[in-house]
Amino acid sequence: MRAWVLSETDVLPTLQYLEDPKPVSENQRLIRIVNSSLNHRDIWIGKGQYPNIVFPCVPGSDGSGYMDNEPVIMNPGISWGENQEVQSDNFHIMGMPSQGTFAEYIVADKKQIHKLPKHLSCEEAAAIPLAGVTAYRAFMVKCQPTKDVKVLITGIGGGVSLWVLKYAVAIGCEVFVTSRYQDKINKAISLGATGGVNTSETDWSKQLYTLSGGVHIIIDSIMGNTLPDLIKLCLPGAKFCFYGASGGKTDNFSPHSIFWRQISLFGSTMGSDKDFSEMLKFISDHKIRPVIDTVFPFTKLPEAMERMKNSKQFGKIVLDHSK
């Protein structure tokens, strides 16, 4: 089979021919991958910015395809465990150290394999797994949103943030977004957001408070020194959930601004098997479709990764394995 193999850090994966994988237990199934999609995780592994990297590896955490002629989607989370509150010590994500989806075939445990939502194509379904479940757990499970609450999503444009937007709009929330790029804010508004603010402007947090009047829920992946300003946007009793910290550490932050106003601060990573199943049901019930930025031929993975590195995308970058 054709597969993209990463052999060391700071180099691009190379397209190689590998032996087709074979199930080694009765619980495993062979899947022919039709589409996969990229995540920032694939970039971080290539840069060596991910823990416990094992080379060589076939990256890729998102994929859809066929198992015995039935269209399926795979949960990239492996060995979450029985505790719904936190993943087990054995938890890992498909695509390093185990083989990922940037290949023509993959073997997966049958409990990872789910039927495609009927309203979606394989191309659309490939845009769900890692980003979709990360967004579902952070927003739906941790924050328990209800209709008409005001939600702020920072850094709109990536896979997770857009899935949060899709879920929030489906529920009937009032959504506000931030981005350094005005065109991404405009696109988010076209998808149902009420408004947004460009964080390139020095008074962005004041603008956002004027626009929103404060929010009940914040979903963030930046943290860093934006945290104090974001906390000021929280209404009393608000919920703040972050699933990443691309902005690094936070300086000069006072915890007094959290406890006195009863603000709940959550960290969230990926999602459990239960979260994944519930997410697919929610997507099916609400007929939600993902936002796809670009579809690249399978042979053009390096170009697809370059687009993601440059933060040009709005939505998921998908690979077509037939090309």
Percent over 70 (pLDDT), the chain = 100
Per DSSP, the residues of 159-220 read: HHHHHHHHHHHHHT-EEEEEES-HHHHHHHHHTT--EEEETTSTTHHHHHHHHHS-EEEEEE
Strand-by-strand arrangement of the 234-242 sheet: 195-198, 174-179, 150-153, 215-220, 234-242, 264-267
Whole-number pLDDT of residue 129:
99
Whole-number pLDDT of residue 253:
82
The whole-number average pLDDT for the span 115-140 is 98
DSSP 268: -
Q: Does residue 99 register a pLDDT over 90?
A: yes
Residue 136's φ and ψ, nearest 5 degrees, are -65, -45
232-241 per-residue burial string, b: 16 or more CB within 10 A, e: under 16: ebbeeebbbb
pLDDT tens per residue across span 254-267: 888 899 999 999 99
pLDDT band at 63 (very low <50, low <70, confident <90, very high): very high
pLDDT tens per residue across span 294-303: 999 999 999 9
pLDDT band at 312 (very low <50, low <70, confident <90, very high): confident
Whole-number pLDDT of residue 283:
99
Question: What is the homologous superfamily of the domain 133-267 according to CATH?
Answer: NAD(P)-binding Rossmann-like Domain (3.40.50.720)
Calculate the average pLDDT of the chain: 96
The whole-number average pLDDT for the span 83-88 is 98
Which of 58-62, 167-171, 242-246, 308-312 is the least confident region?
Answer: 308-312
Amino acid, single-letter form, for residue 141: V
Rounded to whole angstroms, how far apart are CA atoms 215 and 235? Answer: 6
Whole-number pLDDT of residue 181:
96
Per-domain residue ranges of the chain: 2-128+290-320, 133-267
Whole-number pLDDT of residue 256:
87
Whole-number pLDDT of residue 257:
86
Two domains, one topology: 2-128+290-320 and 133-267 = no
pLDDT tens per residue across span 143-199: 999 999 999 999 999 999 999 999 999 999 999 999 999 999 999 999 999 999 999
* Total-model pTM: 0.97
Six token digits for residue 134: 């990360």
> For the domain bounded by 2-128+290-320, which CATH number is listed?
3.90.180.10
Whole-number pLDDT of residue 184:
97
Beta strand 234-242 with 215-220 is parallel
pLDDT tens per residue across span 21-41: 999 999 999 999 999 999 999
Q: What share of the chain is helix, strand, coil (3-state, %, to 5)?
A: 30, 30, 40
Q: What is the gyration radius of the CA atoms in the chain, in angstroms?
A: 20
* Sign, CA torsion 22/28/29/33: negative
Rounded to whole angstroms, how far apart are CA atoms 297 and 283? Answer: 26
The whole-number average pLDDT for the span 109-121 is 97
The rounded Cα 317 to chain-centroid distance in angstroms is 12
Alpha-carbon torsion, ordered 142, 146, 150, 155, to 10 deg: 40
Rounded to whole angstroms, how far apart are CA atoms 43 and 244? Answer: 15
The whole-number average pLDDT for the span 277-295 is 99
CA nearest neighbour of 90 among 81, 99, 82: 81
